[in-house]
Amino acid sequence: MTSEIRWDRLTAPELKALAARDALVVLPVGSLEQHGPHLPVWTDSFIAHALACRAAEQARDVPAVVLPPVWTGLSEHHFPFGGTISVDYATFHALLRCVVRSIRADGFRRLLIVNGHGGNIEPLAVSARELAHEFGIPVVVTSWPAVAAAEIAAVLTTQPGVQHACEGETSVWLALDAAQVRRERIAEAASDAAAGASPAAAFSRFWSFEERAPRTGVRGDPRAATAEKGERIVAAVAGALARAMRDPALWRQPDPVWAPGRAQRPPSEG
């Protein structure tokens, strides 16, 4: 029995064996977009994948296997700063649909999507719902800053939660791979939060990051980032994800609400 948890490092026979054990498939989803002058453009994809792997290593009893990350998402709001590749929703959903269709053909029956990009949150919520209806398997979505929000808030000192290329994301990078952080440019990355648009919470419309985070494309203050904070965030998030992987309530089969005559059966019959 292999101890490897990364799909890309396993052989086809090893993956067939995992499918036979009803292994949970984990799909990290991120983006390829500007993250200020100090962080790489694959920040959201890299972090989502790293956290998913940490969690799967903790939950070996599940077992779980982690796919390579989907490296592009809905990021058109970052184009004013360059370095960004984006897809539209139709393409994004089609890609996710093909992943679900593929893992089901491979014999897997459960999927956890770990998201690292804010622009993917609403699209993923819709996609997960539609994919569960279409394929009849539990498709669970979360964004990693949400799974340990209170713990992350207790770690950060300049902001209440993870924003963009901020104290939180920069700290996680320093913990995971400090060599990729352009430390000499962190000071110029800090933005004036008051200068950006502050959308009313009850209303939704498109805002580019030029409007929300003018000058630097950063929301939050990366100057307060440390590797120690990053390690605490990574530990809290990986632990929360591992607990979700073990939670039987999340992995029940979805109710086939679109089945012909579903409304004619008593709810207790499913």
Domain that holds residue 220: 7-256
In a domain, 11, yes or no: yes
- Per-residue pLDDT reduced to its tens digit, 58-68: 999 999 999 99
Q: Using CA atoms, how far apart are residues 73 and 84, in angstroms rounded to an integer? A: 10
Residue of 174, 196, 175 whose CA lies nearest to 183: 174
In a domain, 143, yes or no: yes
In a domain, 246, yes or no: yes
In a domain, 212, yes or no: yes
Our measurement of the distance from residue 126's CA atom to the centroid of its chain's CA atoms, rounded to an integer in Å, reads 15
In a domain, 198, yes or no: yes
How far is residue 231 from each of residues 131, 155, 225, 226, 228, measured CA to CA in Å? 34, 10, 11, 9, 5
In a domain, 270, yes or no: no
Provide the number of structural domains found in the chain.
Answer: 1
- Per-residue pLDDT reduced to its tens digit, 11-32: 999 999 999 999 999 999 999 9
- Per-residue pLDDT reduced to its tens digit, 182-239: 999 999 998 766 666 677 778 888 989 888 888 899 999 999 999 999 999 999 999 9
CATH code at position 27: 3.40.50.10310
In a domain, 262, yes or no: no
CB 215 within 8 A of CB 195: yes
Our measurement of the distance from residue 74's CA atom to the centroid of its chain's CA atoms, rounded to an integer in Å, reads 13
